[in-house]
Chain A
Amino acid sequence: DGGITQSPKYLFRKEGQNVTLSCEQNLNHDAMYWYRQDPGQGLRLIYYSQIVNDFQKGDIAEGYSVSREKKESFPLTVTSAQKNPTAFYLCASSFSSGQDTQYFGPGTRLTVL
């Protein structure tokens, strides 16, 4: 089955810890994205990557880091510098030509204890 997978589904973190959220896709998409969603809010872009070994900051990149070593994978690290990391994190992917549709993974819900 083609699609986007995210793991884990739920993640609990103690304050001061870094955590890494996984995102994998087998859709042969060039571009991948990370969004954050807070209760009652829309999606805010954290980072995006249009090609392997390249990525750009989105609107709320502070306290986060990413890598894009493989076309299929775009992991997100939430660092201890992120002041309010509790949120629903969504990964998406698309072809990068034109304005192609973004498809979302199932999400990871991160809670800081």
Chain B
Amino acid sequence: QKEVEQNSGPLSVPEGAIASLNCTYSDRGSQSFFWYRQYSGKSPELIMFIYSNGDKEDGRFTAQLNKASQYVSLLIRDSQPSDSATYLCGRGLTGGGNKLTFGTGTQLKVEL
């Protein structure tokens, strides 16, 4: 089992809909999670991070962390064509030297 898993997609949603991106992880010691957006040919840019169980909202984005079930998700409300990108989930471990382990990413396509 991979340490961090994401469905590669593509996930297609119509413009204005809610996109739901999921990430599961295998280590119960995991403490922090980071969502990055990566446009084709570009470097990743941070969307959100979450450390605690529950929801964290920032504008159209909501990160949800459930440590008991070992998953983290990113919801994008009112999806726009400019949200079309690959979304990477990164996991950090306490005492792990600030290293992150990434999933393979989920490709999101927002259709007009």
Contact = CB atoms under 8 A, between A and B. Distances in A.
The reply to whether chain A is a binding partner of chain B is yes
Interface residues of A, number: 26
Contacts of A105: 43
Given A42-B88, A43-B88, A107-B43, A102 B104 contact: no
Contacts of A100: 98
Contacts of B98: 31, 48, 50, 94, 96, 98-100, 102
Contacts of B4: 42
B32 A43 contact: no
A8 to B, nearest CB: 15
B104 A106 contact: no
Contact of A48 (B45, B99, B105): B99
B104 A45 contact: no
Interface of B: 4, 6, 8, 31-32, 34, 36, 42-46, 49, 51, 88, 90, 92, 94, 97-105
28 contacts: A33-B99, A40-B104, A41-B104, A42-B4, A42-B6, A42-B104, A43-B88, A44-B102, A45-B99, A48-B97, A48-B98, A48-B99, A50-B97, A58-B99, A90-B43, A94-B98, A99-B32, A99-B51, A99-B92, A99-B94, A99-B98, A100-B98, A101-B46, A102-B98, A103-B46, A104-B44, A107-B42, A107-B43
